Every structure is written in structure tokens, then in C-alpha cells.
Amino acid sequence: MSDINQAPQTIDWLHNCLGRPALPESQGMRGGLRRSRRQSACLDKPEGKAVKVSWKPYQKQLPTQANLGKWFARTTGIGTLGGGPNIQGHYIAFVDLDRKEKVFSSPQAFEARLEQWFNDYPLLNVAPRFRTPSSGYRVILAFTEEPDWTAFSLDRDRSRMGELLARNGGHTLLPPTVGTNGIPYRWEYFVAYPPTVAKPEDVGIAQAKNRLHWTVPALSTPALRRSVE
């Protein structure tokens, strides 16, 4: 697991295993940038300034080696986009579970619900997963069917518990990125390819009652292609 905590290994894993784009994240300057779902990845120029990197082109293709060399010369933070299909025909999903007070009464309640979910669906125990700086939790899965919704719940009342980042444009940060609070994203369990399931409902993930609407349109795209250098 230690190797995947280095940006070069994470880039290689994203491109060659998951078929998802590696994107730069300069966390130190996020406070000065307005986050958007289309354009919030950023990198530092040699003179110390920072510029935005649009995600849009990389919904359909992987960055070139020239892109990667420029982006990660001085930036160790890394992110990617959920979606697909990749060459295996799968939609890579990041199940982003929030530890919100209005949903979970305490950190212990959050951990208990997480443990129950894993006990109910043992397949999750072999899924790559990591902790976020805000004590949230993300689980990576590969779906054979593309979900058409984002906000999800694990409970019968379908109260919103997080976001299912499985459509093109759904952005997530990854280890070894350090959050703005100084705490890094960290792997809890890593395996090169996530377990495959047909759809979210097969592992207890249901559409939340109050649907979260995106401005990102649902895309039907071929497998990501590698850019010509």
C-alpha cells in the first residue's frame, strides 16, 4: 500500500488499471479559487502562481505524458473523475459517504453504520477505500451499468448520505493529497481493481429521496482513448 501513496504510482494505477484520468490538485490555493464541477483542478507554475485545469477534455480522453509531466512537476495532490466506460466496459464509481451531523448523531454512529453496510455486503471488504481529511469515507466500485443519479442513501428512509461519483464529471481527490486542514487522504485498503457489480442497488446503495441535480449532463461516451503526444 505504501507505493500507491506516491503520486507517480497513483497516476500509473489510474491510467493503466482503472482507465481514469489523473488530474493535478494544488490544495494550498483552493481557498482562493471557486470550486466548480467543470474546472477546479489546479497546478503551480514555476514562478509560484497557479492556474486552473479544466476537467472537460478528460471526460473523453486520458492526459498525455506531456500534460502529466507539466502538471505534477511541483504538485503532489491528485484527483480523478468517476465514470466510463473504461476498456473493461465498466463505470468506475467513488461512493462518497459524508459524516454529516444531520445524518449521523456522532462519529461512533457513522462508524457503526459503515460497519453494518460492510457486514451486509461482504464484497465491500475487498473494495479499495480511503478516508478523507474531513473523516468521510470513499469506496471504489466498478459498475457494469451506468447510474443516472448522484445523491444516495444506505437507509430505508432514503435520507441523503453522500454522493455516488459514477458519471462522467464526478470529481474526487485521492491519496496522497493533503487537505486544506493539513490532514491527508489515506488508504484504508487498496487493491488494483475494484470488485464488479451490475448496479448500485446490488450493494445497498439507493437513490436518495431528495435528488441532487447536477449541471453536468449525462454523457454517453466510448472508452477513454489515449491522446496523441
pLDDT in tens, 182-207: 999 999 999 999 999 999 999 999 99
Q: How far apart are CA 221 and CA 61, in angstroms?
A: 10
Q: Which DSSP letter does residue 82 get?
A: -
Q: Which residue segment(s) compose the domain that 25 sits in?
A: 6-207
Query: Does 225 map to a domain?
Result: no
For residue 75, give Cα distances in angstroms to 19, 68, 181: 21, 10, 17
pTM of the model: 0.84
Task: Evaluate if residue 48 carries a pLDDT over 50.
Answer: yes
Separation CA 18–CA 104 (nearest Å) = 32
pLDDT of residue 31: 38
Q: What was the pLDDT predicted at 169?
A: 77
Q: What pLDDT score does 1 carry? A: 52
Strand pairing partners for 151?
163
Q: Is 66 a member of any domain?
A: yes
16 part of a folded domain: yes
pLDDT tens-digit series, residues 91-130:
999 999 988 777 788 999 999 999 999 999 999 999 999 9
**Residue 105 within any structural domain of the chain:** yes
C-alpha cell at 54: 479544466
Confidence of residue 75 (pLDDT cuts 50, 70, 90): confident
Per-residue cell: 84: 466510463
Q: Is residue 129 assigned to a domain?
A: yes
pLDDT at 180 over 70: yes
Work out how many domains the chain is built from and give that number.
Answer: 1
User: Does residue 214 belong to any structural domain of this protein?
Assistant: no
Say if 217 falls within a structural domain.
Answer: no
Is residue 24 within 8 Å of residue 43, measured between CB atoms?
yes
Does 177 map to a domain?
yes
Q: What pLDDT, on a 0 to 100 scale, did the predictor assign at position 104?
A: 86
Pairwise pLDDT comparison (229 vs 99), residue with the higher score: 99
Q: pLDDT band for position 163 (50/70/90)?
A: very high
* SS3 at position 105: coil
